[in-house]
């Protein structure tokens, strides 16, 4: 994998193969978990206004590119991120079950299923491009 971390976390155009997506998602989830573990209540209130928007933006970029690779609109990233934020804490109501099912669909759709073969409306197949380079 040719890692361009800036493009991975800060741009939403193009397509993203499965492996870089899984690495990017793992990095973002690990950063969020570490922040939650380290930040006390006071620090959380002071720095959360900067940390969470950055994590959500990076997540939207990574998700959008992977959704593009599957031939879907990047706007689905907003739905996935909403579900993730809603169930980040332990589920408290019946709607959380539906959001968890949505996250399971996203995990299979984006983490297991291969991208579209060939070029689609979002760009060239990232696996084919990497093989040629």
How far apart (Å, rounded) are the C-alpha atoms in residues 59 and 7? Answer: 12
The residue among 79, 81, 70, 75 whose CA lies nearest residue 113 is 70
Residue-level pLDDT at 1: 46
Angle between helices 76-87 and 41-69 (to 10 degrees): 150
Please determine, for residue 124, whether its predicted confidence score (pLDDT) is greater than 70. yes
* 120: β partners: 123
Q: Which residue in this structure is represented by tokens 């939207």?
A: 60
Query: Which residue range forms the structural domain that includes residue 54?
Result: 5-132
Please determine, for residue 81, whether its predicted confidence score (pLDDT) is greater than 60. yes
- Domains contained in the chain, number: 1
Residue 118's region, left for phi above 0, alpha for psi from -120 to 50, else beta, is left
Give the burial string for 45-58 (b: 16+ CB within 10 Å, else e).
Answer: eeeeeebeeebbeb
Residue 123's region, left for phi above 0, alpha for psi from -120 to 50, else beta, is left
How far apart (Å, rounded) are the C-alpha atoms in residues 39 and 126? Answer: 37
CB-based contact 31:55 (threshold 8 Å): yes
Q: Residue 61, class by beta-carbon neighbours within 10 Å (0-12 exposed, 13-18 middle, 19+ buried)?
A: buried
pTM comes to 0.87
Residue-wise pLDDT for 13-70, tens only, equals 999 999 999 999 999 999 998 998 888 777 888 898 999 999 999 999 999 999 999 9
Stronger pLDDT, 15 or 90, i.e. the higher one: 15
Residue-level pLDDT at 42: 78
């Amino acid at each position: 994998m040719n890692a361009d971390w800036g493009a991975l976390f800060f741009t939403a155009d193009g397509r993203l193969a499965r492996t870089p997506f899984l690495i990017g998602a793992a990095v973002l989830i690990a950063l969020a978990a570490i922040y939650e573990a380290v930040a006390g209540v006071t620090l959380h209130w002071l720095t959360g206004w900067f940390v969470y928007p950055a994590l959500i933006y990076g997540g939207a970029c990574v998700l959008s590119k992977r959704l593009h690779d599957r031939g879907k609109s990047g706007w689905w990233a907003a739905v996935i991120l909403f579900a993730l934020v809603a169930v980040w804490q332990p589920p408290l109501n019946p709607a959380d079950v539906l959001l968890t099912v949505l996250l399971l669909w996203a995990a299979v759709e984006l983490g297991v299923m291969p991208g579209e073969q060939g070029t689609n409306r979002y760009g060239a197949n990232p696996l084919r491009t990497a093989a040629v380079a």
